[in-house]
C-alpha cells in the first residue's frame, strides 16, 4: 500500500525558509502569494493491506520520528490508487 506523509512547521513557529522562498517568488513576479510554508514529504510503500493498520503505524512513525511535534504538524494520506 502506498502512503504519503507531509510535515510542516506549526503555524506559531517562524518558518524563515518559507519566508525566503516566498520572497524569491515575489522577485520572479509571483506577487499573488500571501503566505508560503516550507515542509517536506515522505512517500512510503507499506507491506500491510489494512488501511486501519497502515494509519495506526504511520501515526506512530510521525510521532516517534518523522515529525518533531513540538514544532511540526503532519498529515497522512492513503490514496486508493496510490502515486505513480
Partner 1 sequence: MKCGVVLLPGSNCDHDVYHVLKHTLGQETVFLWHENESVEACDLVVVPGGFSYGDYLRSGALAARSPVLAAVRRHADAGGLVLGICNGFQILCEAGLLPGALLRNRSLRFEHRDVCLRVERDDLAFTRRYRKGQVLSIPIAHMDGNYFGTEAALDELEAAGRVVFRYASPDGGLDDAWNWNGSARAIAGIVNAGGNVLGMMPHPERASDPLLGSTDGLALFEAAVESLKESLEVAR
Q: Which of 3, 66, 74, 76 binds partner 1 (CB under 8 A)?
A: 66
Half-sphere exposure of 77 (CA within 13 A, CB side): 12
**Whose Cβ is closer to partner 1: residue 49's or residue 65's?**
65
Can you tell me the distance from the alpha carbon of 77 to that of 84, in angstroms, rounded to the nearest whole number? 14
**Whose Cβ is closer to partner 1: residue 16's or residue 52's?**
16
**Whose Cβ is closer to partner 1: residue 48's or residue 68's?**
68
Residue 16 binds partner 1, judged by CB under 8 A: yes
Contact 56, 48 (CB under 8 A): no
- % helix, strand, coil for the chain, step of 5: 35, 25, 45
Q: Which residues bind partner 1 (CB under 8 A)?
A: 12-14, 16-17, 20, 64-66, 68, 70-71
Amino acid at each position: 500500500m502506498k502512503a504519503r506523509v507531509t510535515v510542516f512547521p506549526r503555524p506559531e513557529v517562524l518558518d524563515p525558509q518559507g519566508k525566503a522562498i516566498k520572497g524569491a517568488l515575489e522577485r520572479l513576479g509571483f506577487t499573488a502569494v500571501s503566505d508560503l510554508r516550507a515542509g517536506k514529504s515522505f512517500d512510503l510503500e507499506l507491506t500491510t493491506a489494512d488501511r486501519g493498520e497502515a494509519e495506526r503505524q504511520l501515526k506512530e512513525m510521525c510521532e516517534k520520528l518523522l515529525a518533531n511535534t513540538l514544532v511540526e504538524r503532519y498529515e497522512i494520506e492513503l490514496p486508493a490508487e496510490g502515486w505513480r
